[in-house]
Amino acid sequence: MTLPMISPAPGLPARVRIHEVGPRDGLQNEKTTVPTEVKAEFIHRLARAGLTTIEATSFVHPKWIPQLADAETLFPELQDLTADGVRLPVLVPNERGLDRALTLGASHLAVFASATESFAKANLNRTVAESLAMFEPVVARAKDARAHVRGYLSMCFGDPWEGRVPVHQVVSVAKSLMDLGCDELSLGDTIGVATPGHVQTLLAELNEEGVPTDTIGVHFHDTYGQALANTLAALQHGVTTVDASAGGLGGCPYAKSATGNLATEDLVWMLRGLGIETGVDLGLLTDTSTWMAGHLGRPSPSRTVRALSANPQEQ
Ligand code: MG
């Protein structure tokens, strides 16, 4: 039997763009630091599997994220992919990071904001307002350089220090990011506590306040097993950009309970079952995540990777 069996459902998009975050969000949260050549091969393999947006690395100070300290060496190794039309976004935390990224010719950039004061303080050592002020020249200069800018917004649903995050608070920071000039938002459920109704409420409120759905991506964590349900809720609302991490790499270092990013394979399995195009070859992707799990010395947490590894004839 070829799985998944395909049964389309009404009210869903025909195609979804997967924003692959494994090499950046995934590897930065893994204990093991992966050698540069393994990262380069990982990203090339992801591209061969059909992923067209692959967040490659972060130009944060190496002191903060030693796992990604090789950004300067890695990024030039990926130039053949850029020539092939693969988008390789990189995270830029500040103007120094922006300078480093632009020097290497990066054309897709991302800034990382928080919807809550507690996480802004923990992650950026700034208030929300101070962090937005820090991003203002970053986004302005990125736009001057004709780069595409994604604004990550973390803690959009719940926060380990503050509990439930009010929707209006998330909308307010989201609008500020768009006002700075971001082309796209990624709404992060950093500790994985969202449920589908909460997702749809936030999306509706964003639309109401002038943030259109086609500028919104969603970034779910599977801590409580809700990532795919939340994704489906977002697709029903019209969202067509979904973040996922190959093999379920990574998590959130500030939240003990966070078991990590939605696995790209689990996402592709559901989308394929719904008849939604992604362009991804699930077999090549699963092989890639199994190979990377070998480098990390532990099995992939992705249910789909595990199931397909046990039953490869089902692909
Ligand atoms: Mg994540």
Q: Is the dihedral of CA 40, 219, 143, 47 positive or negative?
A: positive
- Residue 210 neighbours by CB under 8 Å, 6+ apart: 175
Please report the pLDDT score of residue 257 as a whole number.
45
Kindly list the averaged pLDDT for each block of 10 residues, start to end, along the chain of length 315. 92 98 93 94 98 97 92 98 97 97 98 97 95 98 98 97 98 98 97 97 98 98 95 98 95 53 97 98 97 91 92 68
Helix axes 264-273, 282-296, angle to 10 degrees: 160
Q: Where are the beta strands (DSSP E) in 77-124?
A: 90-91, 108-114
Tell me which DSSP letter residue 3 carries.
Answer: S
List, in sequence order, every residue forming a beta bridge with 189; answer none if it has no partner: 220
pLDDT value of residue 108:
98
> Which residues fall within 8 angstroms of residue 28, CB to CB, at 6 or more apart?
58, 65, 67, 68, 250
Find the catalytic residue in 21, 49, 242, 252.
252
Distance between Cα 2 and ligand 1 center (Å): 31
In angstroms, what is the span from residue 247 Cα to ligand 1's centroid? 13
**Domain 17-314 adopts which CATH fold?**
TIM Barrel (3.20.20)
- d(CA 25, ligand 1 centre) in Å: 6
Q: Give the pLDDT confidence score for residue 98 in this predicted structure.
A: 98
The Å distance, Cα 313 to ligand 1 centre, comes to 31
Which pLDDT value is given to residue 255? 47
- Among 206, 92, 210, smallest CA distance to 140 is for 92
For residue 200, give the nearest of 215, 210, 187, 185 by alpha carbon. 187
The whole-angstrom separation of Cα 104 and Cα 91 is 13
Rounded Cα gap, residues 53 and 21, in angstroms: 9
Residues 110, 148: Cα–Cα separation, whole Å: 8
Residue 182 appears among annotated catalytic residues: no
